Amino acid sequence: MSPARRLAVSAASVAVLCGCWEAAPRLGLAPDASLPPLSRVLAGTAAVLGDAAFRDQLAVSAARWAAGLGCAVLAGVPLGVAMGRAPLLRRLVEPLLALLYPVPKVALVVPLLLVLGQRMPAGRADETARVAVIALGCLIPLTVSAAHGAAGVEPRLLWTARAAGAGRVRRLAAVVLPAALPQVLSGLRIALAVSLFTLVGAELLVRGQGVGAYLFDAYDIGEYTRVWAVTVLVAATGLVLDTGYALAVRRLLPWWEGEV
Amino acid sequence: MTAAGPPGGTRPKLRLAGVAKEYTGRRRGTVRAIGGVDLDVRPGEFVSLVGPSGCGKSTLLYIIGGFVAASGGTVDCDGRPVTAPGPDRGIVFQEFALFPWRTVAGNVAWALARRGVPRAERPAATARLLETVGLAEVARLYPAELSGGMKQRVAIARTLAQDPDVLLMDEPFGALDAQTRALLQEELLAVWERTGKTVVFVTHSVEEALYLSDRVVVLSRRPARVLEVIEPGFARPRDREKVLADPAYPALHARVWELLRAGGAA
Ligand SMILES: Nc1ncnc2c1ncn2[C@@H]1O[C@H](COP(=O)(O)OP(=O)(O)OP(=O)(O)O)[C@@H](O)[C@H]1O
Ligand SMILES: [Mg+2]
């Protein structure tokens, strides 16, 4: 399929969803007035984007998101690579990850607050808890895929490097890391999606500032169009991030034939 | 049967004594790949290994390379036991094992860098090596963009870049068309004659083994043992036409085939 055709097919599924959303409320198929037609929601989205108060909240959320995802990358990728190359470490850490896996990370925000609240002022405890929850959510996909990538390095590549005279450190930097990179980057793609929903989820649960809080405020005062407008914005951000990321990876890894 | 040692008692470049290998797999249990191989290889000698598919030829090269530990016996290189890979032994893997994230030139230049060739000299040296294997035009492509035969030639160039004393080659011309294959055989002989490297060469082609080698080691079915060592003895430098026309050639060819067919049904 040509790129244009692929894009058309993908756009078609979004278009069908949009059409249903527009039609359902107008035809009286929506349960009640809480679901406005899409056109009204989109107008609301434009209004939200024009709202200075929203942009302030967005900046807060973006900083939180970057902090959470950044910590997860800095911790998860090295941990995963180390696990991939050291079976003992893998055996030690894997059960912990398996335990953490099914726990909804957003739900951890409550026990985290209990613990952190004992040691820091409330505002900082809230902020730390939100960032920690985002980091925890992203940690698993990043660590697991980095571990798989590092463990799956074709042994003959390492043998070749060793015969050519490359020492341990160089083999790690020049063979293990590039060989694991595609998997690391596909873990990051999953983490990107996870980071968005944990961000908004944490902000809904522990209210303060941020896009999630803005959304909940709109709900509290019954502005349902604004609730939907922000939701659409979050979804669109996810789509743009994911698509942009996939394109960037294709440029970054010209040698990689597979999907990331 | 024991392989012939080097005449005159000069120290062998490689000495394999009772080399055996068992693989323990999860599904197949224990597999005896190599059943005890003795072989001495002289410095500068060209030795071919032929044997049925799956008899343990690649495994034997891995053991000489120091990539895989033998489960019995010893390998000495220059009188020192082989325990790990080293730059004195370069290998061309049957599966090429190119770095997919480096271009063709990048793969070759990387090996040059490991050998300590200064950065400024690497492009010219890389170009020369790629010229040798006939790949000058694809220097900037990635391995995924190459055919199997081209990948094989990059792997050869990269191993030559390492400039090892001992060249271990695992069916290096297996994926090539007849013409390229003939060309590269000649090129390999020229490099070998010029540099005096020791070559251990695995092949499925009896003709190739007889044309290239000082000695052809015929291995049995798995677990591999040395069935017989054949010395073609054709004059050097070799000429393919003369080798094929040599009155001794048909009998040698037939003998190797006979051994392979019988396979040493142990
Ligand atoms: N890592 C491994 N684990 C278990 N068994 C193995 C392993 N590698 C090879 N073997 C087995 O050892 C035997 C010898 O394999 P090897 O690759 O050395 O054969 P070969 O002579 O090179 O074959 P070919 O000519 O087809 O390349 C085979 O039976 C193979 O299944
Ligand atoms: Mg093999």
Whole-angstrom distance, CA of residue A175 vs CA of residue A161 = 8
- Say if residue B264's pLDDT is above 80: no
Strand partners for B34: B21, B224
Q: What is the pTM of this model?
A: 0.90
**Are B65 and A178 a contacting pair at CB < 8 A?**
no
What does the DSSP assignment read for A30-58? SSSTTS--HHHHHHHHHHHHH-HHHHHHH
- Say if residue B266's pLDDT is above 50: no
Instruction: Give nearest CA residue, ligand 1 atom 11.
Output: B33
Q: How many CB pairs under 8 A join A and B?
A: 65
- Give B170's pLDDT tier (boundaries 50, 70, 90): very high
Whole-angstrom distance, CA of residue A235 vs CA of residue A248 = 20
Q: What is the pLDDT at residue B2? A: 45
- Give A29's pLDDT tier (boundaries 50, 70, 90): confident
Q: What is the pLDDT at residue B193? A: 94
Instruction: List the domain range (segments joined by +) for residue B243.
Output: 87-265
pLDDT (mean) for A23-36? 85
Residues near B111 by beta carbon (within 8 Å), at least 6 away in sequence: A164, B158, B159, B161, B162
Residue of A nearest to B113 (CA): A164
CB burial string A46-69: b at 16+ within 10 A, e below: eebeeeeebeebbebbeebbebbb
pLDDT, tens digit, 9 for 90 and up, residues B200-234: 999 999 999 999 999 999 999 999 999 999 999 99
- Give B42's pLDDT tier (boundaries 50, 70, 90): very high
Task: Tell me the CA–centroid distance for residue B81 and ligand 2, in Å.
Answer: 24
B35 domain-assigned: no
Residues near A234 by beta carbon (within 8 Å), at least 6 away in sequence: A196, A200, A211
B168 domain-assigned: yes
Residues near A128 by beta carbon (within 8 Å), at least 6 away in sequence: A112, A116, A120
Whole-angstrom distance, CA of residue A249 vs CA of residue B169 = 36
Structure tokens at A141: 């996909």
Whole-angstrom distance, CA of residue A167 vs CA of residue A83 = 20
Which position has the token pair 């394999």?
A: B16
Q: Nearest by CB to B86, from A154, A163, A256: name it.
A: A163
pLDDT, tens digit, 9 for 90 and up, residues B91-124: 999 999 999 999 999 999 999 999 999 999 999 9
Give percent of chain B with pLDDT exceeding 90. 90
Q: What is the pLDDT at residue A34? A: 82
Q: What is the pLDDT at residue A123? A: 87
B208 domain-assigned: yes
B75 domain-assigned: no
Angle at B150 between CA B148 and CA B154, to 5 degrees: 115
- Strand B29-41's sheet: what is its strand order? B29-41, B14-25, B72-77, B80-81
pLDDT, tens digit, 9 for 90 and up, residues A39-70: 999 999 999 999 999 999 999 999 999 999 99
For chain A, the distance separating the N- and C-terminal CA atoms, rounded to the nearest angstrom, is 19
Q: What is the pLDDT at residue B1? A: 42
Q: What is the pLDDT at residue B8? A: 53
- Say if residue A139's pLDDT is above 70: yes
Which position has the token pair 């009998």?
A: B251
| Closest by CA position to A134, among listed A69, A76, A70 | A69
pLDDT (mean) for A22-43? 88
Whole-angstrom distance, CA of residue B73 vs CA of residue B202 = 21
Q: How many domains does chain B have?
A: 1
What does the DSSP assignment read for A175-240? IIHHHHHHHHHHHHHHHHHHHHHHHHHHHHHS-SSSHHHHHHHHHHTT-HHHHHHHHHHHHHHHHH
Here the CATH number for the domain that contains residue B169 is: 3.40.50.300
- Say if residue B6's pLDDT is above 70: no
Say which amino acid occupies A163.
A
SS3 B238: coil
B43 domain-assigned: no
Q: Interhelix angle for A211-220 vs A52-85, to 10°?
A: 130
| C-alpha distance from B98 to closest chain A C-alpha (Å) | 7
- Give B240's pLDDT tier (boundaries 50, 70, 90): very high
- Give A32's pLDDT tier (boundaries 50, 70, 90): confident
- Give B246's pLDDT tier (boundaries 50, 70, 90): very high
Whole-angstrom distance, CA of residue A122 vs CA of residue B37 = 74
**Are B87 and A165 a contacting pair at CB < 8 A?**
yes
B125 domain-assigned: yes
Which position has the token pair 């037939």?
A: B254
CB-based contact B90:B168 (threshold 8 Å): yes
Rg value, chain B, Cα: 18
**Are A163 and B110 a contacting pair at CB < 8 A?**
no
Tell whether B146 is within 8 A of chain A (Cβ).
no
pLDDT, tens digit, 9 for 90 and up, residues A146-162: 999 999 999 999 999 99
**Are A163 and B143 a contacting pair at CB < 8 A?**
no
CB-based contact B220:B266 (threshold 8 Å): yes
pLDDT (mean) for A66-88? 97
How distant is the alpha carbon of residue B20 from its chain centre?
A: 19
pLDDT (mean) for B20-29? 90
Angle at A183 between CA A132 and CA B96, to 5 degrees: 155
Structure tokens at B250: 């048909």
According to DSSP, residue A14 is labeled H
Q: Which of B59, B101, B102, B168 to mutate to test the interface with A (most CBs of A within 10 A)?
A: B101
pLDDT (mean) for A16-38? 88
Whole-angstrom distance, CA of residue A103 vs CA of residue B128 = 59
User: Structural domains in chain A?
Assistant: 38-252 (1.10.3720.10)
* Ligand in nearest proximity to the CA of B57: 1
Rounded mean pLDDT of chain A?
93
Instruction: Give nearest CA residue, ligand 1 atom 6.
Output: B23
Whole-angstrom distance, CA of residue B90 vs CA of residue A160 = 8
Whole-angstrom distance, CA of residue A188 vs CA of residue A194 = 10
| Closest by CA position to B57, among listed B34, B78, B40 | B34
> Based on the number of CB atoms within 10 Å of its own CB, is A89 exposed (0-12), middle (13-18) or buried (19 or more)?
middle
Rounded mean pLDDT of chain B?
93
| Closest by CA position to B133, among listed B116, B108, B110, B114 | B108
Task: Tell me the CA–centroid distance for residue B58 and ligand 1, in Å.
Answer: 7
CB-based contact A154:A171 (threshold 8 Å): no
Q: Interhelix angle for A52-85 vs A38-50, to 10°?
A: 90
Q: Interhelix angle for B148-162 vs B122-132, to 10°?
A: 130
- Say if residue B243's pLDDT is above 60: yes
